[in-house]
Structure 1
Amino acid sequence: MADMTTEEKLQGYAELHNYGLAHLKSSALNCAVELGIPTAINSCGGEATAVDIMKKTGLVPAKLSHLRRLMRVLAVSGIFHESTPSSLAVGEQGETIYRLTPASRLLARDGKSSDMSALLLLFTRPDTTVSTFFNLVGWFRDAGTKTPFEMAHGMSPWILTKMDASYNDAMNHACVADSDFIMDIALKEASGLFQGLSSLMDVGGGHGMVAAAISRAFPQVKCTVLDLEQVISKAPDCGTVQFVVGDMFSSIPPADACLLKAVLNSWDDDSCVKILRRCKDAVAEPPI
């Protein structure tokens, strides 16, 4: 292997730092959402200084310099846009102004736009999602068939939702936020998919946000959600969606079509094939 040039060495050195410390970016974003920083900027009209953010979020003044560092990390990462007032004279220093980007706009809780903060908090949840990947070396060396999540936590995510109420709530809130966001776009861009259906089974449909959106747009479609008891028990009654407690690996009630949203992402190939076979059986049977 040929010797590297000084430029190549420095480039590699910088990339190692970037990858090795990449977890700081997601940790900083998690912190910003927990503190309510995107919401604070939004409530200031879409732009705010660190002092404004400090006041809006209730942080103590002693943390102001650290808040500026946090905002700098997130600005470099593209979560916020930063600038200084254009009216400043040459050489004059002014307070940096932070504005929302498309990503952080989705994290502002204003009751109007899509709020994806629950999904982001699930992605960056330290004790479950993040810790799943702490021992990938052990997982690769293990001859068993457990997923990294099962090796880290001793059970699948769906069993954990039954055992851990906090994780169950986090999962449900994240799924609701994701479904609300996706269906707003899907019903505008791909509404033809639901034309001609009289019944639809949302497999692993959580709290029924997807099914409810379809039901509102297509009242003639009878929408049903199939999910686990710990999920269904906390689902709100929207009046237009039927909820059924069940196991998608065992059987799926019959319908004209089965909808799978992000369900297959959590399972290995064999499990996915089994779920798809249950869906095929459900569609093949005459709907009730």
Structure 2
Amino acid sequence: MAFLIGEQSVELLQAQAKFWNHEYNFIYIASLKCVTQLGIPDIIYKHGKPITLQQLANVLPINKAKVHGVYRLMRVLVHSGFFIKEKVSDDDADMGYWLTPASRLLIKDQALSMIPFLEASFYPTYLKPWHHMSEWFQNDDLSAFETAHGSTLWDYASHDPKLNELFNEHMVNDTESLSRIVIRDCQNVFHNMKSMVDVGGNTGFMAKAIADAFPHLHCTLFDLPHVVAGLTGSKNLTYIEGNMFESIPQADAVMLKWILHDWSDEESVKILKKCKVAIPSKENEGKVIIIDMIVRNNKEDHQETETQLFYDLLMMVLNNGKERTEKEWEEVFFDAGHSGYKIAYELGLWSLIEVYP
């Protein structure tokens, strides 16, 4: 017979359990990276239906004595909801592993793949700053990345080809999925515009997608010289090199996609002031299109709020940037001299905001 323990003991044990849960939360991302490197999502996808542990083990490039490890690995990811277990067939009682929308993002050689994120997750250059957070709080560096590496993320990436490659792959893959949604569901944002500048748009995936979807609209991709070097435009897509802190090309609208969260409030105000100079008045339908997070306390979706808070710490550690609440966004807009804004669309973790001069 089990004996009941005291209330204080229960609280202590629960506190310890919470600590261990946080302590080992990294195992989720490590497990995802492992199944991706082993090719498990691709194997299941090509199998075309739920696959049993034995079937999976037969085709995996592993030491067959370690099949028990595959079971334990998959058990964690089934628990997390990345994979599910279903009947192999109506006539068969055996259960097999099957894909969810989340694990489909781990299939190789497909659009919308999240594999570049996994590749970056344990990259030493990205991990090191987290070991220097407490030191950063006590010094004058702008970010923990600077404390760890002696330079900003952007300067470091320009001299580290692997880091630069990981960053560019990250941006392209994430932008590809977002551009599809924006073009499909947010079309009215672009209807009355004749020109748009995508500031800091990397290699231009979003600008290309918008230019293709709206032939009446001339798009300009504006980024640093080493980013746009060698890139070729088209009939309604132009590449221009420059620095957004100095000036921004004239257009009906300026797009800032995942730009301002990389910068402090003071730097964001400077960028938005340059945007205001580049666009027509509100009466002439000038606007800044911002795609970024609006941090909310979503009590109905704990995971969404948690993810946004994680992103905020990530921006702090890597860039001296931040994710903002609506009130914080409003202060930045008005400090930059803009007259108003509208949250036009909610895009999952992100929002599309129209800001008016």
> Relative to total residues, which structure has the larger strand share, 1 or 2?
2
Contact conserved, 2:232 with 2:239, CA < 8 A, in 1? no
Query: Pairwise mapping of residues 10-29 of structure 1 onto structure 2 (< 5 A)?
Result: 10-29=13-32
Compute the RMSD of aligned alpha carbons.
2.7
Structure 1 position 61, deviation (Å): 2.2
Contact conserved, 1:207 with 1:234, CA < 8 A, in 2? no
Structure 1 position 178, deviation (Å): 0.8
Of the three residues 201, 221, 244, the one matched with 2:217 is 221
1:127 aligns to 2:130 (yes or no): no
Q: Could you list the runs of 4 or more consecutive aligned residues of structure 1 that deviate by over 6 angstroms after TM superposition?
A: 86-89
Secondary structure of 2:221 counterpart: strand
Secondary structure of 1:135 counterpart: helix
Match of 2:327 in 1: none
| Aligned-partner Cα distance in 2 for 1:247–1:272 | 14
Q: TM-score, normalised by structure 2?
A: 0.70
| Aligned-partner Cα distance in 2 for 1:52–1:234 | 47
Q: TM-score, normalised by structure 1?
A: 0.85
Contact conserved, 2:83 with 2:97, CA < 8 A, in 1? yes
| Aligned-partner Cα distance in 2 for 1:26–1:65 | 20
Match of 2:108 in 1: 109
| Aligned-partner Cα distance in 1 for 2:59–2:170 | 25
Match of 2:201 in 1: 205
Match of 1:187 in 2: 183
Structure 1 position 87, deviation (Å): 6.3
| Aligned-partner Cα distance in 2 for 1:276–1:77 | 41
Equivalent pairs, count: 277
1:9 aligns to 2:12 (yes or no): yes
| Aligned-partner Cα distance in 2 for 1:233–1:57 | 42
In structure 2, relative to structure 1, the CA distance for the partners of 1:108 and 1:282 (3 Å cut) is same
* Mean Cα deviation higher: 125-134 or 203-212: 125-134
Q: Deviations over 1:105-160 (max 9, x none)?
A: 1222353x6323223433x1431333331221111222x14112222222222222
Give ranges in structure 2 of 5+ residues lacking alignment. 1-5, 287-357
Contact conserved, 2:84 with 2:100, CA < 8 A, in 1? yes
1:174 aligns to 2:173 (yes or no): no
In structure 2, relative to structure 1, the CA distance for the partners of 1:60 and 1:245 (3 Å cut) is farther
Match of 1:118 in 2: 116
Matched AA of 1:16:
F
Contact conserved, 2:220 with 2:238, CA < 8 A, in 1? yes
Match of 1:262 in 2: 258
Structure 1 position 240, deviation (Å): 4.5
1:100 aligns to 2:99 (yes or no): yes
Contact conserved, 1:119 with 1:175, CA < 8 A, in 2? no
In structure 2, relative to structure 1, the CA distance for the partners of 1:230 and 1:61 (3 Å cut) is farther
| Aligned-partner Cα distance in 1 for 2:181–2:277 | 29
In structure 2, relative to structure 1, the CA distance for the partners of 1:141 and 1:241 (3 Å cut) is same
Structure 1 position 215, deviation (Å): 0.7
- Identical aligned pairs, as a percentage? 33
Of the three residues 155, 158, 171, the one matched with 1:162 is 158
